[in-house]
Amino acid sequence: MEYIWQYYFLIILIFLQGLFFSLFRKNGMRSFSILCFLELFFIAGFRAWHIGTDTPNYIQAFILSINYPELMKTHMETGYLLFNRFLILFTTNPQILLISTSCFFMFVWLRTLYKYSTSFLFSTVLFVILEFSTTLTMIRQEIAICIVLLSLPFIIKRQFLPFIITCCLAACFHTSAVLAISLYFIYPLPIKLRYFYLIVFVSIISFFFLAPIIDQIIELTGHYGGYKERISSSEGIKTAIVYKTLFQFTITCFCVTSYYLFYSQLQTIKSSLKVSFLLWCSVLAFCAQFISIKGAGLDRVVLYFSSFNLVSIPLFVRCYPKQFRLLITITLVAVFILYRTIIFIYRPEWNAVLPFEFCF
């Protein structure tokens, strides 16, 4: 694909800017975060309406929301529909949807990485490589994910009621956010082999028995039925889920191996999030992704756990001896870029963001 240079250019631009601002110890990363926000927000917010696999559907829903009763026939959650109605109070131009959501996404993601990552530059580069194109596609779920990310202080401070309320709010935009409640319970969970074996055992059982039950629930409720049909009828989507499973398995193996090899070193690293929590998120992301091979729609649940990969990977890289960190970082970044490059070239329909175009 001749437009793949756009993807590489953005990665290189963010990386070089990060290196430049890292020279300024005082407020260097803060300035870098502001610049990244402005650049990524501009790119995402002022993109053309066909950039992003699901963007045309959201644009159409926004246009339909001018006639609200007609919109209520769609499968989209009530909270998202009301959000559309709110935006229409200001303008009927659909671009406002992309501008407002992109502003929210970039702010929350960069704020989260700045606050919780041990290496903001590394996490930001990973975000551009792995997550940025997703924010251009799955608007409803990205809203839900960002709301959950904003609720992390409730998890850390063990404030259950506010966290539940926040998750319910997120579920108003994407129903899958209900399962993000599990983050509250795994945060204090210690790393013990019996818990690991239990999770693996439950995942294997779920792979064979839970997935068909979920399919029946989808058929009975009619919710995400279209998504299920797309998965059942499309070999491309099935292949995508398998690829995602292998990819998350690689990340989980790296995190788990690093944890057991350098456990004592990890205890000396200051992290705003518990190391055990980040490790469990990686493990659960793989397990959920594995189950999603047979369970239609379950790959959407993965995102509430895999989002923390952007924080956990820099943390586990940091536990290695200094002479190996650069090599490991370069290797991981190269693997991630290669993974995305293969998708962009051979499966462009999975994430239709190239060639990129602005709305003007």
DSSP 186-252: HTT----HHHHHHHHHHHHHHHHHHHHHHHHHHHHH-TTHHHHHHHHH-HHHHHHHHHHHHHHHHHH
pLDDT score, position 164 = 96
Among the listed ranges 111-120, 153-162, 262-271, 301-310, which one has the minimum average pLDDT value? Answer: 262-271
Residues 159-183: what's their mean pLDDT? 94
Closest CA relative to residue 289, chosen from 305, 312, 278, 311: 305
Predicted confidence at residue 233, as pLDDT, reads 46
What is the pLDDT confidence band of residue 165, given thresholds at 50, 70 and 90? Answer: very high
For residue range 25-71, list pLDDT tens digits in order. Answer: 778 899 999 999 999 999 999 999 999 989 999 999 999 888 766 66
The predicted structure's pLDDT at residue 23: 87
Query: Which two three-digit tokens encode residue 84?
Result: 């559309």
Which neighbouring-strand residues pair with 358?
A: 47
The model carries a pTM of 0.91
Pick the residue with more confidence: 233 or 16? 16
pLDDT for 348:
80
**pLDDT score recorded for residue 205:** 86
Give me the amino acid identity at 176: S
Mean of pLDDT over the chain:
88
Tell me, what's the pLDDT at 214?
63
| pLDDT > 70 in the chain, percent | 89
For 256-290, the pLDDT digits (tens) are 999 988 887 887 888 889 999 999 999 999 998 98
Can you give the pLDDT at residue 296?
A: 59
User: What is the pLDDT averaged over residues 72-84?
Assistant: 83
Asked if the model's pLDDT at residue 105 lies above 90, the reply is yes
pLDDT, tens digit, 9 for 90 and up, residues 213-242:
666 655 555 555 555 555 444 555 677 788
Residue 113's identity, in one-letter code, is L
